[in-house]
């Protein structure tokens, strides 16, 4: 026993000594899963974006760290034509692609790279459109880019023009998204000539702060700082993603110093993290909303008074306590507070079962029986839909409404909940893509989305007119006003019960400096340093 203990202690000591020697420049991030690949345009998962677009690539337009505001990225400036149909981008000079053991660039970033990065997604005949088995460009499609983009034209080496089919104010925000990352055309040409096209997704080359070094599947990803990065070399020399899927184990690794950052701590571990003098736990509201969508096409839920009454019967605080365990904030609007144009002047419906009961009676509703759909999966905006449904069931019983809880397999749930004649109210939610209010209000509540992502099947002319107008107006102040008004209409008409926005916690070692919580849920490490 004694010798075993000595033997084991020797490992630990040797490991700690060597770790100490490297600690100055090495940052270990305990990531929650494996990336699907490294070409971010092929995927939609945040885990993949963390490992690819957020650290390896840049976009024409980027989001200011910690906010949803757009700032210049690889495009230094841009202009929009008067009719809103042409966006002209002037590229930054002297931007270098990564030099690795598998690629040495001979030129800097130019318009060809931008055209290549988008054309491969837009043009079905493009030689890179189907470069790997089952390529589907899901995010590009989900953001309706094929309908929106008419063409992408190279004007000269440092100027690119995007031609649109219709004006679309959120276009700039779309270009800040992960699918819009800029890849090297020179590298793609080299791979094509060598017959190794798949390597574009396995051995990435970008312009971002970190260059890819190695990936051992499901275990570890290694990156090195890109010396000539145009925003300045990252303070972290070696960035390591230690893939650790179990949340409790991630926490143990963080506490043991095996990594410096745990992106998704368990709610149950939060108190222990706060109590640990070596750790810190910044928090921020997530860019999401969890809601209960009534089917506004089916009586009596077609009556706003009934919906309003039911909303007043829901005890949100009880849900926040039981379901979110302190990691949630009550939602009053359909967009989260981190998005510009959030209307903070709006008052939430008060929790008042007695008044709710009276309102239902006034609306002529008695002995109401309804279904509530509970999602079978855990999502950031709803960590336990079954529990949430049970709490709402109890709340509704107080006002004389009988609730039956139903659920389906996730794919089926998503599909059936779109049905126009769906029986029941659906628990669901949304995580923002580009920080534009349009991405919530038009996508989830617009008339075009009825029978699709508009689960309330709610088409309100006044609301829709405001949201459609905001799509084509490019002045941010005017857009803000329109969205604020739209939120008032939403509150009055109550197609949903807005339940909560999750609160995001990031557990990290005290010596981690400069990390800003990304409202989009991403983890980018340029600007992060380890205090000595």
Partner 1 sequence: MLFYYFKRFGVLIPTFLGVTVASFAFIRLLPGDPVLLMAGERGLTPERHAELLKQFGFDRPLWEQYLDYFLGIFQGDLGNSLVTKKPVLDEFFTLFPATLELSLCAIIFAMAFGISAGVVAAVKRGTWFDQSLMGTALIGYSMPIFWWGLLLIILFSGTLHWTPVSGRISLIYFFPQVTGFMLIDSLLSGQKGAFSSALSHLILPTIVLGTIPLAVIARQTRSAMLEVLGEDYVRTARAKGLPPRRVVGLHALRNALIPVITTIGLQVGVLLAGAILTETIFSWPGIGKWMVDSIFRRDYPSVQGGLLLIALIVMIVNLIVDLLYGLVNPKIRHTGG
Q: Residue numbers of the site for partner 1 (CB under 8 A)? A: 5, 8-12, 14-15, 18-19, 22, 26, 28, 33-34, 36-37, 42, 44, 132-136, 138, 141-142, 198, 201-202, 214, 216-220, 222, 240, 242-246, 248-249, 252-253, 255-256, 258, 408-412, 414-415, 418, 428-431, 452-453
- Are 123 and 115 in contact by the 8 Å Cβ rule? The answer is no
DSSP 222-273: EEEE-TT-TT---S-SEEEEE----HHHHHHHHHTTS-SEESS--GGGHHHH
H or E element: which one contains 285? strand 283-285
CA angle 476, 62, 452 (to 5 degrees): 70
Report in angstroms how near the CB of residue 225 gets to partner 1 at its nearest.
16
Q: What is the DSSP secondary structure assignment for residue 276, as one 8-state letter? A: -
**Shortest approach of partner 1 to residue 155 CB, angstroms?**
32
- Which residues are 530's β-sheet partners? 512
104: which residues sit within 8 A by CB, 6+ positions away? none
Q: What is the DSSP letter of 14?
A: H
Q: What does the block give as tokens for 454? A: 């508009």
Cα separation, 116 vs 122, in Å, equals 10
Q: Which CA distances in Å does 187 have to 111, 155, 414, 466? A: 14, 22, 39, 45
Closest separation in Å from C-beta 52 to partner 1: 13
Q: Which is nearer to partner 1, 138 or 462 (CB)?
A: 138
Name the residue with tokens 């345009």: 41
- State the nearest-atom distance from the C-beta of 135 to partner 1, in Å: 7
Of 268, 225, 230, 224, nearest to 248 (Cα)? 268
Q: Residues 251, 336, 177, CA angle at the centre, nearest 5°?
A: 75
- State the Cα–Cα distance between residues 392 and 292, nearest whole angstrom: 10
Residue placing its CB nearer to partner 1 in the complex, 101 or 461:
101
């Amino acid at each position: 026993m004694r010798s075993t203990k000595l033997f084991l202690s020797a490992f630990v000591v040797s490991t700690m000594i060597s770790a100490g020697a490297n600690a100055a420049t090495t940052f270990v991030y305990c990531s929650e899963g494996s990336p699907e690949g490294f070409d971010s345009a092929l995927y939609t998962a945040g885990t993949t974006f963390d490992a690819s677009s957020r650290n390896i690539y840049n976009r024409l337009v980027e989001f200011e760290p910690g906010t949803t505001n757009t700032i210049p990225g690889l495009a230094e400036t841009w202009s929009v034509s008067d009719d809103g149909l042409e966006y002209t981008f002037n590229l930054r000079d002297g931007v270098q692609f990564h030099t690795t053991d598998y690629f040495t660039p001979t030129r800097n970033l130019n318009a060809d790279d931008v055209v290549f990065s988008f054309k491969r997604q837009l043009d079905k005949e493009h030689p890179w459109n189907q470069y790997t088995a089952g390529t589907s460009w899901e995010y590009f499609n989900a953001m309706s880019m094929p309908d929106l983009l008419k063409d992408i034209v190279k004007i000269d080496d440092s100027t690119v023009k995007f031609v649109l089919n219709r004006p679309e104010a959120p276009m700039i925000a779309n270009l800040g998204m992960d699918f819009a990352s800029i890849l090297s055309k020179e590298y793609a040409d080299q791979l094509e000539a060598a017959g190794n096209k798949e390597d574009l997704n396995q051995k990435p080359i970008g312009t971002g702060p970190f260059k890819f070094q190695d990936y051992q599947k499901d275990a570890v990803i290694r990156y090195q700082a890109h010396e000539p990065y145009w925003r300045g070399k990252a303070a972290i020399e070696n960035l390591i993603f230690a893939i650790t899927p179990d949340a409790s184990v991630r926490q143990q690794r963080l506490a043991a110093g095996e990594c410096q950052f745990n992106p998704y701590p368990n709610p149950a571990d939060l108190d222990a993290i706060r109590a640990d003098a070596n750790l810190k736990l910044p928090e921020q509201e997530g860019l999401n909303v969890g809601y209960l969508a009534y089917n506004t096409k089916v009586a009596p839920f077609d009556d706003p008074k009934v919906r309003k009454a039911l909303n007043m019967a829901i005890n949100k605080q009880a849900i926040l306590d039981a379901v979110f365990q302190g990691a949630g904030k009550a939602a009053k609007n359909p967009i989260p507070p981190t998005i510009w144009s959030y209307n903070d002047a709006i008052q939430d419906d008060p929790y008042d079962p007695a008044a709710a009961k009276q309102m239902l009676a006034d609306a002529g509703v008695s002995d109401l029986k309804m279904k509530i759909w509970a999602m079978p999966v855990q999502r950031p905006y709803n960590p336990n839909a079954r529990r949430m449904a049970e709490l709402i069931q109890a709340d509704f019983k107080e006002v004389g409404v009988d609730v039956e809880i139903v659920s389906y397999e996730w794919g089926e749930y998503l599909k059936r909940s779109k049905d126009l004649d769906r029986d029941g109210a659906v628990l669901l939610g949304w995580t923002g893509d580009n920080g534009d209010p349009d991405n919530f209000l038009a996508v989830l509540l617009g008339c075009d989305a009825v029978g699709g992502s508009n689960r309330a099947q709610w088409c309100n002319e006044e609301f829709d007119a405001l949201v459609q107008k905001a799509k084509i107006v490019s002045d941010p102040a005017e857009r803000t006003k329109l969205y604020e008004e739209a939120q008032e209409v939403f509150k009055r008409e109550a197609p949903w019960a807005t339940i909560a926005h999750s609160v995001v916690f990031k557990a990290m070692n005290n010596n981690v400096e400069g990390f800003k919580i990304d409202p989009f849920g991403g983890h980018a490490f340029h600007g992060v340093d380890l205090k000595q």
